[in-house]
Amino acid sequence: MRDEIIACLNEPRQLEKLYRANKIPFKRAFNTLYPELKGSTIADFWNERLSYEPDELNWGTGRELVFVLMAALIAGLIAKLPAFFAIDQEFFYPRNIGFIVFPALSTYFAWKNNVSIRTISFIVGLTLVGLFFINFLPDNKKSDTLILSCIHVVLFLWSILGFAFVGETRNNEEKRLSYLRYNGDLIVMTTLILIAGGIMTGITVGLFALIGLDIKTFYFENIVVFGLPAAPIVGTYLTQTNPQLVGKVSPVLAKLFSPLVFVMLVIYLVAILYSGKDPYNDREFLLMFNALLIGVMAIIFFSIAETTHTTKSRPEIWVLFLLSAVTVLVNSIALSAILFRISTLGITPNRVAVLGGNVLILVNLLLVTAQLFRVLSKKGTINEVGNAIASYLPVYALWAAIVTFLFPLLFGFR
């Protein structure tokens, strides 16, 4: 995006087209580029234009509002299907939790990006394949492959959402990084909406209780069940129409938590030595260890996605490098533990899934760590670090599809 802005700097019409096609990436790239262009009439104009923040929220067009409200209503109705048709909740929700929200978000971005009919057909086709496959799996609650499919079908739908987000520019690594930034912004916005909704719920239920009316059951079954799936849909709408709402919060959180997580991780690894716990012989501890690994990896990736467009200071690059290096160590321990368990206890669907996930994460972290080292050595740029993440995202999508669709067949649905 930086190179495109520079190339179009003396062509106002092309610059305007570039902005309208990718507003948020354009703004982020321009803000990092502006110090080099300061003094240019066109650059100063765009700086004022992009820096202007309206006093009121931008609620978008009437069509967008109607679309979002309809999407939230449909998501709520899907969540209520077990009540409407007497479907077993233990059957419905584990298999279909992702289908309540992700198709609505994918539809929103496909509509916003004005994608082709071919792309829409591809998105709809993949979604329907996932929907029918997961719901026709044998209803064996003790089946490991069923549990793995239910978990990974959510990641599969997340990948489809990313496909809709990037639109026709699916090979654009900047757009893929924008998808990661969107996820970070969405987490912040959805959390704020849920906190506000939780406060409202407590006040409402409490007020009715004061006058002797117990509305708790009714409220949770008819209001909350619609509100929960609506939160990420409304959150997405707000982050896309008002990027300034959390555009400054996400980078701050990334800068704040990266060093804190690094310190926590180092202390935790030292504490493991004194606790007597180890992931080689304790299955539950290994699961928690891998959950920690995924959480830390997500923080690294979101931080790098923000850093590529907010700052290039060496202290922050050092923090990300050290955090990545320590996470590689954590991943190596987890990988050796699962290999040990496979060699001593045999192959199971869970162990193979964890093994594959750990290998993919380790390779990606090594690539990211190597690129961060190049940046510190002044042999590379922070954008190359972002590219190491963006170019690897399809690999995660492929693995999610393999676990979702092939594992039940390969392991005989056990």
Query: pLDDT tens digit string along 270-305?
Result: 888 887 777 887 778 888 888 888 888 888 888 887
Question: What pTM, to 2 d.p., does this model score?
Answer: 0.84
What's the pLDDT score for residue 3? 77
Q: Which residues of 344-377 are buried (b: 16+ CB within 10 A; e: fewer)?
A: eeeeebbbbbbbebbeebbebbbbbbebbbbbee
Q: Which residues of the chain have pLDDT under 50?
A: none
In terms of Cβ atoms closer than 10 Å to its own Cβ (0-12, 13-18, 19+), residue 210 is exposed
- Torsional class of 167: left (φ above 0), alpha (ψ -120 to 50), beta (otherwise): left
pLDDT digits (tens, 9 = 90+) for 23-65: 767 877 787 787 777 878 788 888 877 776 665 666 767 888 8
What's the pLDDT score for residue 55? 55
What's the pLDDT score for residue 207? 93
What's the pLDDT score for residue 39? 78
pLDDT digits (tens, 9 = 90+) for 220-260: 988 999 999 999 999 999 888 877 777 667 677 777 888 88
Please work out, in degrees rounded to the nearest 5, the angle formed at the alpha carbon of residue 100 by the alpha carbons of 95 and 103.
110
Distances (CA, A) of 301 to 133, 186, 305, 321, 324: 31, 15, 6, 12, 10
Q: Which two tokens stand for residue 267?
A: 């202390």
What's the pLDDT score for residue 93? 93
What's the pLDDT score for residue 400? 95
What's the pLDDT score for residue 247? 66
